[in-house]
Amino acid sequence: MDLIEQYRQMHRERAYGATSVKKAPYILPYVQLLKARTVIDYGCGQSSLAELISERCDAKVTRYDPGLPAYDERPNGRFDLLINIDVLEHVPEDAVDGVIAEMATLSDKAIIIIDTRLAATTLSDGRNAHLTLRPPQWWKERLARHYPDARRIWVQRRPASFVTWRVSSPQTLAALAAASTYKVRALGAMLVRDGMRRTLRKI
């Protein structure tokens, strides 16, 4: 079965590709730092991250994912920012360069987070859903072919995490501080809404 069709089937059967919103505390500070007004969520899945960015950053967010018929039409034009969260590891290695090249045509500024571990999901043809598992430096070198300023940022448990524009050390520290504040507030809201036991199970 064609890879895209396998993902379409997975989306039809269950909520799939919905976890990128968990990276929001690390993403939102960089969106705000850049003052991006147009954003494309490239490989959006079923996540609500696009809506959260739109709400918190006052940005117009376009969703694109070839595995979801509602969002499978590739947008035209350029965007202030492209976000690509837990997507590239799902691309076969021989197609990675072409996908990154296409991303670069949409925006020269991107936030890219790549999982470097095996997925819990198996494709219908028996392969692990993470088709390309490579270390962070390998990904940095691949990204640098199309994003010369690609540099690593810190995202919890995601060592292959990058922005593709120049960010100063003070700006990086400010982004980390903002992420910590966001997570504390989110945890407090969860405690109020769900109580201690349910919150502990979720985190």
Write down the pLDDT at residue 31. 96
What percent of the chain clears pLDDT 90, i.e. is strictly above it?
A: 68
Write down the pLDDT at residue 203. 45
Write down the pLDDT at residue 198. 63
Alpha helices in the chain (DSSP H): 3-13, 24-34, 49-57, 93-106, 136-144, 169-202
Write down the pLDDT at residue 35. 95
CA atoms of 122 and 125, how far apart (whole Å):
8
What is the per-residue pLDDT across 87-104, written as a single tens digit (0 to 9) for each? 999 999 999 999 999 999
User: Token digits for 120?
Assistant: 């819990």
CA atoms of 93 and 110, how far apart (whole Å):
20
What is the per-residue pLDDT across 36-84, written as a single tens digit (0 to 9) for each? 999 999 999 998 999 999 999 999 999 999 999 999 999 999 999 999 9
pTM of the model: 0.88
Q: pLDDT confidence of 142, banded at 50, 70, 90?
A: very high
In this structure, of 119-123, 132-136, 156-160, the range with the lowest mean pLDDT score is 156-160
CA atoms of 86 and 130, how far apart (whole Å):
9
What is the per-residue pLDDT across 184-201, written as a single tens digit (0 to 9) for each? 776 666 566 767 666 455
